[in-house]
Structure 1
Amino acid sequence: MVRELVGGTGVLPEHTPSLEGWFAGGPPGALALAEHVRTSGIGQWWTDRATGPRALAVACADHLVLRGDPQALEPAVLDGLAARYVQAPARFLPVLGRAFELVVPWERMVYVHRVPVAAQRTPRGVTVRRLVPGDAPGLAALDPDTAWIHASWGGPAGLAASGAGWAAFRKGHLGQPERLLAVACTYFQGTAHEDIACVTVPDARRQRLALACVTALCRDIAARGRTPTWTCSRDNRPSRLLAWTAGFRLAQEYVHYVTGRAGRT
């Protein structure tokens, strides 16, 4: 269920005005995040007033999006949202500076899927398929450093049941269960775009398993009538290379902000 941020109006996301106007000109992943929270019920939502809202804040996983008039946003609204990745116009920097001890800009790149890629061959004994509810234990068994992959769906069970994930599994031997090696999923699901993410377990890298999962996921998203997008840091060369190989092309660059601890006393 969507939780209201401190100081909110109590307006549920489905009762807010059309989101497109709030996110015009921004990266498609920001709108997809807001739509994801509205439809999935996972995340937090705030507007300064029920009628004619002037400011909007939406949080999901470790991401926060701010839009509208920053003067209508009190720093107290951001309590409990430290150590987030904040996507907001530069005019919000003063309120972020008052809310947090640290605000660090981080250059980001947005890719849009443009080139269809053929299904990828996988090593012997490895199968790529859609995640199903029974795969939740496999997701939960991933290294804690990769737990972010299912955060936008509320945890392993949420992602496994979402229908929005594809994974590579190695066949078990002598009655042992399959082992999950790589997973690609829609991280934020919008009505026009689905922003995707992927991870591979360390000992299964360099086998093109992430590419196989991403390729299957992109075909699935296209079948839903939506466009896959890919967002990553400018400094993340492996992610950028994987995006290009999977048929994504650079569409936009922007800056988001990494926040430290709450700075107010």
Structure 2
Amino acid sequence: MIPHPAHQPPACARVFPVGAPGTTALVEHVLATGHGTWWTDRAEHLRVIAVTCGDHALLAGDPTALAPDRLAPLAGLCVEASARFLPLLGTAFDRLHPWDRMLYVHQASGTPPRVPRGVTVGRLRPEDGPALAEADPSMGWIHATWGGPSGLAASRQGWAAFREGRVLALACTRFAGSRYEDVACATDLSERRQHLALACVRGSDRRHHRARQNRHLELLPRPSRQPPPGLDRRLPPPPRVRPPHDRAHGRQRPVNSASGRVNRA
């Protein structure tokens, strides 16, 4: 597979839907932040395209156009692709682990959590990079889509719970899209069951609602029902996204209860 810089997407990148919930926000995140890589099977007359960021990848095109070893750049990643890629992925890698995401619609505000004494919840600042780097290693995955702890701190897209300068929990925008954000949260293994991650999510949610009210951003051309020349024409049309049900707050929030990752509009 041939790599391409984040800010130089191939013309066929419009095959990926934008403005949809879930990890599809990865496409817009890569374009907006510069964190990520595009991949194609060849330089011209493309048949397969992928985009990677952090530990996620989106894959589209004609699975019959690739040899299994060409998928080596996707090893160890969570790959989102149509079922037609399963035989190719099964041949390319030793083991595949399915990951089903459950989506719930957020329609009402929850009860604010009580933060333990001595804990402060606040928005990340650039100078918080070293504290993030020293946090529990089990939380290290959360800043991968920002290029590392310093990148996430500089983005100001996260909230953290601190005690004496130590990061106990964190919630941040994982993938920032034009309509939806995929939000991740993580807690130090020794500090769980105190609702610290929930407090961080609520802080981030207030920031999000103020900053993104009436905001619209379009980073890619609107996907057409026909894929670009060279890509498999059996690809399904992009999904339609229903308007948010919670018009008072202007957002939908699907939640993955298994991983603690949240999607927010």
TM tier, smaller: 0.7 to 0.9
SS of the aligned residue for 1:109 comes to coil
User: After the TM superposition, which residues 122-141 of structure 1 pair with which residues of structure 2 at under 5 Å, given as runs?
Assistant: 122-141=115-134
Over residues 147-193 of structure 1, what are the superposed CA-to-partner deviations in whole Å (9 max), with x where a residue is unaligned? 101111111101111111001112x3xxxxx2211110011111111
Q: C-alpha root-mean-square deviation of aligned residues, in Å?
A: 3.0
Q: 2:179 aligns with which of 165, 177, 192?
A: 192
Moved over 6 A (4+): none
Q: 2:202 corresponds to which letter in structure 1?
A: T
Give me the TM-score of the superposition, normalised by structure 1: 0.73
User: After the TM superposition, which residues 89-168 of structure 1 pair with which residues of structure 2 at under 5 Å, given as runs?
Assistant: 89-117=82-110, 119-168=112-161
Partner Cα separation in structure 1 for residue 49 and residue 55 of structure 2: 17
User: After the TM superposition, which residues 115-264 of structure 1 pair with which residues of structure 2 at under 5 Å, given as runs?
Assistant: 115-117=108-110, 119-170=112-163, 172=164, 178-223=165-210, 224-225=212-213, 227=251, 229-230=253-254, 232=256, 236=258, 239=260
Q: 2:2 corresponds to which letter in structure 1?
A: G
Identify the residue that residue 32 of structure 1 maps to in structure 2: 25
Shift of 1:40: 1.4
Q: Is the 8 A contact 1:194 1:229 kept in 2?
A: no
Give the direction of change, closer, same or farther, for the CA distance of 1:14–1:151 in structure 2 (3 Å limit).
same
Q: Is the 8 A contact 2:18 2:27 kept in 1?
A: no
Partner Cα separation in structure 1 for residue 50 and residue 82 of structure 2: 12
From the two aligned structures, give the one with the greater strand fraction. Answer: 1
Gaps of 5+ in 1: 1-5, 173-177, 250-265
Q: 1:151 corresponds to which letter in structure 2?
A: A
Identify the residue that residue 23 of structure 1 maps to in structure 2: 17
Partner Cα separation in structure 1 for residue 41 and residue 187 of structure 2: 41
Give me the TM-score of the superposition, normalised by structure 2: 0.73
Q: 1:75 corresponds to which letter in structure 2?
A: P
Give the direction of change, closer, same or farther, for the CA distance of 1:218–1:73 in structure 2 (3 Å limit).
farther
Shift of 1:239: 3.7
Shift of 1:200: 1.1
Give the direction of change, closer, same or farther, for the CA distance of 1:115–1:50 in structure 2 (3 Å limit).
farther
Gaps of 5+ in 2: 216-250
Q: 1:86 aligns with which of 66, 79, 83?
A: 79
Identify the residue that residue 66 of structure 1 maps to in structure 2: 59
**Aligned residue pairs: how many?**
227
Give the direction of change, closer, same or farther, for the CA distance of 1:75–1:35 in structure 2 (3 Å limit).
farther
Over residues 221-263 of structure 1, what are the superposed CA-to-partner deviations in whole Å (9 max), with x where a residue is unaligned? 2221474645536xx2x849xx7xxxx89xxxxxxxxxxxxxx
Q: Is the 8 A contact 1:33 1:190 kept in 2?
A: yes
Give the direction of change, closer, same or farther, for the CA distance of 1:198–1:217 in structure 2 (3 Å limit).
same
Shift of 1:101: 1.7
User: Is 1:42–2:25 an aligned residue pair?
Assistant: no
Identity %: 50
Greater mean deviation of Cα atoms: 221-230 or 203-212: 221-230
Give the direction of change, closer, same or farther, for the CA distance of 1:203–1:103 in structure 2 (3 Å limit).
closer
Give the direction of change, closer, same or farther, for the CA distance of 1:195–1:229 in structure 2 (3 Å limit).
farther
Greater mean deviation of Cα atoms: 219-228 or 145-154: 219-228
Q: Is the 8 A contact 1:13 1:45 kept in 2?
A: no
Partner Cα separation in structure 1 for residue 178 and residue 143 of structure 2: 20
Q: Is the 8 A contact 2:38 2:51 kept in 1?
A: yes
Q: 1:96 corresponds to which letter in structure 2?
A: L
